[in-house]
Amino acid sequence: MQFAHPYLLTLLIALPVLARQWISPRRARLRLGYSDFRLLPARTLPFRVMLAEALPLLPLAALGMFTIALARPQIPFAPEEQSTEGIDIMLTLDISSSMLTQDFGAGSRFDAAREVLGRFVNTSKNDRLGLVIFASDAFTQCPLTLDTQMVSLLLDQVQVGMIKDGTAIGMAIATAARRLEKSEAKSKLIILLTDGINNKGRIDPQTAAKAAAALGIKVYAVGVGRAMQLPPGQAPPPNYEGIDESALKRIAEATNGQYFRATDPKTLDAIYEGIRKMEKTRFVAKRERRVVESFGQFLWPGLVLLLAYMVLNATYLRKAP
């Protein structure tokens, strides 16, 4: 057992002083004079008298219990290592302005994607998740963690417009790959969701995909919105805001991953669930060291002792004035 505030235990030193002041010699407490009974044969004190003599000990014991409870006794538990099965996944979300297009179910592409990602995060038990968002550039919103509540909280804070507009798919893959580079999991995945064509960033998507493949990372690309098949190297038509499926397929194939097309939230849900079930790996997760508060083991007995003192002093062991 340990104490959160051990210095408060020094107050226990005052208990003997209080006991001496409270439990003074019996003669000093007499308010009425009686004859001297010392010449009579010695007799054993009645049980009730002995209880009355010991009664002042109850509030002192209660005070000691309260002092220990105030110091917050705790029972520590050592960190536990738990072997479990899961995947290291970096969720990579496009937040360019085209994601606000209202052609994906009842809402925008972004609203649907964030809602589906939220359900995916909240139903993940053993997978370590991270979150990268991108537009003209990419940055890590949440590093890899087993704390799905934290991932969900940071996902809720994501909005279109947080990054200058554009679509830097290569930067998104590279940023997510850097987060997975030191992972010891056998299954390392990037789930890339986008509705556009790479038009920003210092890194070409194919170059980033090859680098990810060299690190043993698979990219699962998910395209949402309108699609167009473009030959390799051919630029999209002017003002085209759809996705280049052929480019996303090449990214997935370069990493031994897969490409999926989502046209509605239900399909997107099925895609994320399908990816999670594809491959698992075992890893050791260490739980944080925790403590259990035990002040109640002293607080409640102290209250019982104090209540017993008050009841007995007013009834069974009541003294004459």
- Mind listing the pLDDT tens digit for each residue in 262-303? 888 888 888 888 887 776 655 555 555 567 788 788 888 888
Residue 232 clears pLDDT 80, i.e. is over it? no
Confidence check: pLDDT of 190 > 50: yes
Spell 267-292 as b/e; 16+ CB within 10 A means b. bbbebbeebbeeebeebeeeeeeeee
Q: What percent of the chain has pLDDT over 70?
A: 77
Query: How confident is the model over 68-88, as a mean pLDDT?
Result: 72
pLDDT at 22 over 80: no
User: Does 239 have pLDDT greater than 60?
Assistant: no
pLDDT tier, 27 (very low <50, low <70, confident <90, very high otherwise): very low
> Is the pLDDT at 108 greater than 50, yes or no?
yes
The more confident residue out of 209 and 225 is: 209
Q: When comparing pLDDT for 253 and 186, which is higher? A: 253
End-to-end, the C-alpha distance of the chain in Å comes to 45
Q: What is the pLDDT of residue 9?
A: 82
pLDDT band, residue 69 (cuts 50/70/90): confident
Q: What is the pTM of this model?
A: 0.59
Q: Where are the domains of the chain?
A: 2-23+46-77+290-314, 82-285
CA distance 174 to 185: 18
> How far apart are alpha carbons 107 and 113 in whole angstroms?
10
At residue 5, the pLDDT reads 81
**Cβ proximity of 48 and 316 under 8 Å:** yes
- Statement: residue 318 has pLDDT above 60: yes
82-285 placed in CATH 3.90.550.10: no
Beta strands in 234-303 (DSSP E): 243-244, 259-262, 281-286, 290-293
What's residue 35's pLDDT?
60
